[in-house]
Each structure stands twice: as C-alpha cells, then as structure tokens.
Amino acid sequence: MTIIGMTGDEAVAHAAKQSKVDIVAAYPITPQTIIVERFSKYVADGEVHTGYVCVESEHSALSACIGSSLTGARVFTATSSQGLALMHEMMYIASGLRCPIVMGVANRALSAPINIHGDHSDMMGSRDSGWVQIYVENAQEAYDWTIQAFRIAEDKDVQLPVSVNLDGFIITHCMEGVDVLGGNVIAEFLKTRKPLFKLDPEKPVTVGALCFTDYYFEFKRQQVEAFSHVQGVLDRVAKEFKGVSGRSYSAIETYGMEDAEAAVLCLGSTAGTAREVAHTLRAQGKKVGIVKIWLYRPFPVDEVKAALKNVKALAVFDKSISFGAQYGAVCSDVVSALHTVDKRPRIFNVIFGLGGRDIKPSDIEHVFNEALETTKTGAVKQETLFLGVRE
Amino acid sequence: MVVLKELPTEELFASGHRLCAGCGEGIINRMTMKALRGPTVIIAATGCNEVASTIYPYTSWKLPWAHIAFENAAAVASGVVEAYKAMARRGVKQGHIDVVAMAGDGGTYDIGIQALSGAMERGHDFLYICVDNEAYMNTGIQRSGSTPHGADTTTSPAGSVIPGKPEWKKDLIGICAAHGIEYAATASPAYWNDYMTKVRKGIEVNGPAVIDVLSPCPLGWRHESARSIEMVKLAVETRYFPIYEFERGKYKLNLNVSKPKPAEEFLKAQGRFSHLFKPTYRKDVIDEIQQNVDANWNRILKLCAN
C-alpha cells in the first residue's frame, strides 16, 4: 500500500499517466487545470511516451482526441463547465464513432452568471450525448475509476467514451490520501488497447460516412446495444480491480439500506456528507440510508429498484436544474425507474449546491427529517425543495 | 516537377462518386491521390466532398479516410499525426503514415479557421488542402469568407440595392504565412502539374503545409459543366486567382501572367456575376473588381520580389 497525498485532479492525472495513454489533447479550465498541468509536466520530464496536444480550444481538444482514438491509440482528456459545453458537438461524434476516450470532468456550474464552483450542470447538459458517465465521491475514487474507465471504454462489447466526473473544488482541489497502485499492476490490469478497427493504410476503412434515413437509425440502435453491455462489463472489471486493489466498486453503493425507511439518493461528494449524517442518525435509532450512484449512464435501473424496495420516503438530490421540467435530471431518472414498481416510496426532489453553494450536514439532516416525516404522514410536503437558497 | 508518364495508374479515388458533373473536387481528389508519397490517411471536413463520396454503405476512398465534423479537420489531423508518433514511441511497429486534411472554403476560411490556426501554430506534420469553390455549395450556395466581391449567393443575393457580396475574399495564404509555417500555396486544377507538384511538396515538408486550390462549381458559379477547367484557367489568366507559393519565408510567383485578360472575361462567363451585366451594365462594380485584381497582383509581385 502506497498512500500519497494528492488532490482529486492530481489523482486523475496520476491514473492517466499509469494507464499509459498515448495521447492527451486538452485545454485548461478551472477547476480541471491541475490535471493538464500535471500531465504536461510528466511529458516535459520524459516520464511518459504520451503525445500531449496542447490545443487552442476544448472543441479542438475532443476533435484531436477523436482523430487519435481512430488510429487505435489510448486517449485521455479532461475539461469542465464551459469547456464541456464547447465540446458538446464532438461528444456525440466521439460516441457515434465508437471512440473509447476517457475524459475527466471537473464538474462546475455553467454561465450565466459566470461561476467557477462545483455543480453538475455541465455534465447533465450532455447526459444524452452517448457517454458512459461515472460520478466519484473523493480523490481515491477519482483515481480508481479513471483506471477502470479505460477497461470499460475499450471493452470490445462497449467501445464507448467514458466520463469520470469529480465535483469541482470539493474533490478536484481537496488534498486527500490516495492509495496508489504500482505501475506494473495497472499495466497488467489494463493491457494495451485492441481496437476493432482503425485508420490503417494496410486495411483501409472509411469512418464518418454519411448515413441517410436508410441506415442512421440502425447505427443509433447499435449504440443503445453497446450501452446495454456496460453494466456487465463494469461488474467484471470491478471484480478484477478488487483483486488488485482490494477496493470494491459497482454501479451503485448503499449505506444503511438494509432496513432504511427514509433514504437520500445522490451523486458524487455529497454522498460523503450524507453518509456521515446517516451514521449519526442511525446511532439515534432512526432508520435512514443512502444510495450513491456511481454509474449514472447507463442508469442502473435494477440496482436502484432493488436498493429502494423497502423504502417509504426518498429524497433525490440534484446538483443541477432541468429548467421547465418537473424534476431535476437524477430525480426524473429515479421516478422513471420506479414507475413500474407497485410498492414505491414517496419521492421528493432536492435541488442544491448550485454554483458551489455549500451543503452542510445540518442541511442533509433537515432533508432526512423531512423524509422521516413523510414516512409517517405518507405525504410529501414539497415536491421540489430548493435547499440552501435565499427566497 | 511531376512527370505525366510516371504518375501512378492506380486510382485511390474510385469512380462512381456522386459529385456533380464538372465538379472540381472530383478532379482535384484524383490529382491529389496520384501525388501522394506513400501510405496516407485522409481527414475530411463536412462538405460536398464527404457527402458525395461516402454515402453509406458506399465509399469512393481506397485509403483510410475519416470525416468527423465541419470545423475541425485540422484539429482531427493534429490528433492523428501525434497518435501515430506516440504509438511509435510505445514500440508499435508501423511505417511512416502521411496525413492529408481536406476541407472546403467554408470549413477553412470561416468555421475552421481557429482549428487551422491552432494546428499551424503547434506545427503538426500534415498537408491541409482547402478545396476552394468560393461559397457554401453543399448547402445551396451561401456566401463564405472566400466568396468574391460582387458574387450572387443565396445569403449575399444580388438585389436592387446591394449588387451581390459587398465584402472581399480573405487572404488565406497571408494568414498561413503569418503563422510562419514552411509551406503555403495557391493552385488551380487547370495547371495539374503545378498543383500535383505542390501536393507532393506539402507532404514532404516537415510540419504543416496549406494549399488553397480553386475548385470550379458549375452549380454555384453557374457555368456549363463542360467548361469547369476553362473557368479556373480563366481565373488565372485574368490574374483573378494568382498562382504562387510561400516557402520558408519566401514568396514565389509560379505562373506569371504577362498579358492578363480583363477580369470582366472571368466574371461574364459565370451566372453568379450575371447581375453585373444585365439588366444594367454595372461598370462601377466591374471596375472595382478589376482594380482589386490589379492591386492584389501587384501586392503579390512585391511579396515575391523580396
């Protein structure tokens, strides 16, 4: 065991380095910048064979990544917020051309008004772009998932890009102890990428052809098929990863759900605070629990259903707004996953943390108490609770 | 210098593509393919060329070819070039692969200029060919930064008040030269030898090279399909489109036009300028274009004299 103190950004950079990526094409943006700064230093110091393409925009970053990926190379990039928004067009193409690129996303609010702090508006805005989406709770998870992401992305049954999402500043800039694996362990775990096709003069292929009404739909259906393989591959990869790291991962993680009547469902760093609060409340005899989503796309419907089967009241946390919709993105997914279940919890949506607004243990305790109240009354007081906002 | 007898007979750009009759792009593609040095990957921007040559499940390309989007051919090519280099450092055994990016004037002068500028500044080793037909022809003839002054397009229509595009064509070669790249040139498929020599030169340069090749468009320029090559020859003979190159900091005129035909001959041969002749003869606009042609020629002569 080698524990190194590093920020979430550093952990991602370190994981990408150990994953022996061939290309990093990226553009700096707060709070992701540390990732590309660290990586450029690895290149400058000759620690990696990687080609670092220091492009002039995020649009070109992902464009260059797609070109690199099509040659059969292992490719990594990272961005945040406005940068991710600028990549939006290319995200669909990366997925449609089945490029297994791994991208670290330092989640940050979207302008306007401009704000550099963490929320999930950026990735939620691209949630239908055909990327596998993983949200991490801390620097250790950022490191572990970045490594596993390459295996999932490059699996022959998947061949899809993967984003590893870490909360801006809370994870990206917070120094934590990270258990780092040996380079040879990771090399053995990942092996080299084996592309199904590539730009090879020996065996020419045409990539990115024009597909009209007669073929386009079939290509999209194939992407859906690839998404259906993700969870199986993830479980297999996670099992192997446990073998080398001792750490267990899957689509979701639960705490206290074996007997919880009131629960909180959330993504990312919030789960850490929520777990701590749940721990205290459980010590007081309150039946509360949490469901943390690691794998947000594809949405782990069966796991979420199973985890919530005995819950009477559920608060779903959304760190972004879906303007004009009934719920935030995560809550919509949960409601949709549960709509075929006969015995389902009363659900309310908690919109919180926008633009980096702090979420305190007392805030989460308040939500748990609301949920506990609902278990008794059977009624939801407020369908959408804007937590921590001045109104 | 390319020798006709020595050109490869192999066709890497297959017939059966769906470009219009008389389209310059098909001719340019074929010439480009015959001027390649060895194993090559083509990166294409969205445009007529991609739309007409790769309608799934068919392709006209017998070499690796990839289209990603409209504005990013130079960025994609950057990634391709660097990936081959990185994989070689990792120990992958693969001979040298040349990379050629092809885009239209929309994808180069306008929406793709940032990606091209970035790639030139970073110095990736690839040849970028702008197949310049002077408007967004694929989407039905809208003006671009390359469309000449006075041309009638669907977004710079000749009206009763405004006689076609008010602005002038951008100086693409000047922009490329300002990046300090080793090689940039203009070309016309009417002078196949000049164009193909430049393609080979651009590939051989160790770093980014750009060629702006004028491509006749019977649909957008509105001339008979059979007269395409005549149009791009006339463009040179009138000094409307000077053929020159920028190599290692030096400009050189490749085709001297000592007795130029009046620009009017180039204009009146094409429907996109017909409003300058009928119903009223717009001497003012035609004179303005002639003056601009003269000024541009003199500017280039001066650059070449240094």
A137 C-beta neighbours (distance < 10 Å), count:
26
Q: What is the pLDDT of residues B244-292, one digit of tens each?
A: 999 999 999 999 999 999 999 999 999 999 999 999 999 999 999 999 9
pLDDT given at position B71: 98
B1 pLDDT above the threshold of 80: no
Tally DSSP H helices, then E strands, for chain A. 12, 16
Residues near B12 by beta carbon (within 8 Å), at least 6 away in sequence: B33, B34, B36, B61, B62, B63
Architecture of domain A252-387: 3-Layer(aba) Sandwich (3.40)
Mean pLDDT of B131-142: 98
pLDDT given at position B133: 98
- How far apart are the CA of A303 and the nearest CA of chain B, in angstroms? 36
A51 C-beta neighbours (distance < 10 Å), count:
26
Q: What is the pLDDT of residues B10-30, one digit of tens each?
A: 999 999 999 999 999 999 999
A383 C-beta neighbours (distance < 10 Å), count:
11
Q: Where does CATH 3.40.50.920 sit in chain A?
A: 252-387
Check: CB of residue A64 under 8 Å from CB of residue B82: yes
pLDDT given at position B3: 86
| CA separation for the pair A229, A251 (Å, rounded) | 13
Mean pLDDT of B110-139: 98
Locate the chain A residue with the closest alpha carbon to B118.
A56
Confidence band, pLDDT 50/70/90 cuts, at residue B306: confident
**pLDDT, mean over chain A:** 98
Mean pLDDT of B201-225: 98
8 Å CB contact of A90 and B51: no
- How far apart are the CA of B109 and the nearest CA of chain A, in angstroms? 16
- How far apart are the CA of A345 and the nearest CA of chain B, in angstroms? 45
Residues in chain A, pLDDT under 50: none
Domains and CATH numbers, chain B: 4-305 (3.40.50.970)
Helix (H) or strand (E) holding B295: helix B283-305
From the list A51, A202, A209, the residue facing B59 with the nearest CB is: A209
8 Å CB contact of B117 and A56: yes
CATH topology of domain A2-245: Rossmann fold (3.40.50)
Residues near A299 by beta carbon (within 8 Å), at least 6 away in sequence: A293, A333, A337
Confidence band, pLDDT 50/70/90 cuts, at residue B4: confident
What is residue A235's three-state secondary structure?
helix
Q: Where does CATH 3.40.50.970 sit in chain A?
A: 2-245
Locate the chain A residue with the closest alpha carbon to B61.
A206
A61-B146-B272 Cα angle (round to 5): 140
pLDDT given at position B2: 82
